[in-house]
Amino acid sequence: MDKRGILIIILAIAAIAIISTATNIDHSSKGIKTSDPGTQITDQEGRIVTIPTNVTRVAALAGQSYEKLILLNQTDKMAVTISAWTNLPWSSKIAPQLKNISIEDDPNVEDLIRKKVQVVFCLSYDGNKEKLNSSNISVVVTQKNSGNPENIDSFTKYVKQEVALYGEVMGLDAKKIADEWGEYFDQKANYVTSRTANLTDSQKPTVYYARGPDAITTQGKYSYTQWYVQMAGGNCVAKNTSKEGLQSVTMEQLLAWNPDVIFVGRVNSTNIITNDSRLSNIKAIKNNRVYLCPQGVAYWDGSAEGVLLMEYFAKNLHPELFEDLNMTNEVKDYYSKFYHYNLTDDEANRILQHLPPAGY
């Protein structure tokens, strides 16, 4: 073969190599990843979603998703989050990196693509799923507003699935921690329900959860708080509301329920209940059984920290059954185990009292 023939063959081989390389480029600036066949997962809405094999850039757009990523030691992979954490000072105390992450409550698709976001965590009802339909960014629904678990067994499975879903998306290290959290949840749930399972209906106080910002905002049937109240040995008065999830009830309805106990969440005092003269004759107020819910890295009524809320409910609903339950130690243990942060007794008690870090 002459030199010209050899040269033609070399050029042909080089051209094939260039074409092959080009087709394997990750076109992340355009949201295209042709070289990665990805992995299929099932999100909390039952959707089959294809995600990249190696996820390194995510947008935490679900209200509590930043907390799940802190829990799974994946904070460094957050490219975008929402402002929810800014109202929860313990979050940046535990994970100072949050202060350096872009906040986008109404994210722009092009901006997410520029930031090379591969996966977006969102709620089924926040509009982000629809907004991202035309992009190549994987959208994972982590919580839904309807079709939620209808009994305690399905609820406990659902809560563990939510954390496991984040672990599945974020990789093997995260999955291992998610599995450990699932085991921890089972242990605490069994501890509480083994003592409350045999209570008669008459032994279960009726409970109302005031979610804030006012007395009549609550979480209705099939909500996290309904199931945690029931696991803790209470009877949630909002369990038969006409719709699921967050909602307002009438003052007349709240008065008719006349709960034995009221827990108040997402506000920094019980004043929305105790200072309302219309509620002065409710049993919970007359018997001094209005309790302010703790607040830590996330709101306890819809986050992984809800396992602590279940214990808090149990301790206040049935102190005689849980004399050995030390909530200060429980909070310290949780933060050490999953956030790798060693709280002092004072810090743990501030969380339990719905107070920010000292000096905040």
Give the count of beta carbons closer than 10 Å to the beta carbon of residue 303: 25
CB 149 within 8 A of CB 155: yes
The model's pTM is 0.89
Q: What is the pLDDT of residues 103-124, one digit of tens each?
A: 999 888 999 999 999 999 998 8
Check residue 116 and give left, alpha or beta (phi > 0: left; psi -120 to 50: alpha).
left
More confident residue, 100 or 14: 100
More confident residue, 133 or 325: 325
Position of tokens 């008459």?
Answer: 202
Residue 320 pLDDT > 50, yes or no? yes
Residues 61 and 141: their CA atoms lie apart, in Å, by 10
Which DSSP string do the residues of 182-236 spell out, in sequence order? Answer: HHHHHHHHHHHHHHHTT--GGGS-EEEEE-SSSTTEEE-BT-HHHHHHHHTT-EE
Residue 11 pLDDT > 60, yes or no? no
Domain spans, the chain: 39-150, 198-353
Q: What is the pLDDT of residues 162-198, one digit of tens each?
A: 999 999 999 999 999 999 999 999 999 999 999 999 9
Residues 101 and 78: their CA atoms lie apart, in Å, by 7
SS3 state at 303: coil
SS3 state at 290: strand
Residues 229 and 73: their CA atoms lie apart, in Å, by 29
More confident residue, 259 or 128: 259
Q: What is the pLDDT of residues 129-144, one digit of tens each?
A: 888 877 889 999 998 8
Q: What is the pLDDT of residues 24-55, one digit of tens each?
A: 333 333 444 446 789 999 999 999 999 999 99
Q: What is the pLDDT of residues 231-253, one digit of tens each?
A: 999 999 999 998 898 999 999 99
Quick one: CA torsion of 3, 6, 8, 11, rounded to 10 degrees? -120
Which pLDDT belongs to residue 33? 44
39 burial level (CB within 10 Å; 0-12, 13-18, 19+): middle
Give the E-state strand segments of 233-335 in sequence order.
235-236, 246-248, 261-264, 290-292
Q: Identical fold at 39-150 and 198-353? A: yes
Give the architecture-level CATH label for domain 39-150. Answer: 3-Layer(aba) Sandwich (3.40)
Tell me the pLDDT of the chain averaged across its residues: 90
Which pLDDT belongs to residue 9? 43
SS3 state at 56: coil
CB burial string 318-357: b at 16+ within 10 A, e below: beebbeebebbebbbebbeebbebebeeebbbbbbebbee
CB 283 within 8 A of CB 260: yes
Could you say which of 3.10.450.710, 3.40.50.150, 3.40.50.1980, 3.30.1320.10 is the CATH number of the domain covering 198-353? 3.40.50.1980
Residue 200 pLDDT > 70, yes or no? yes
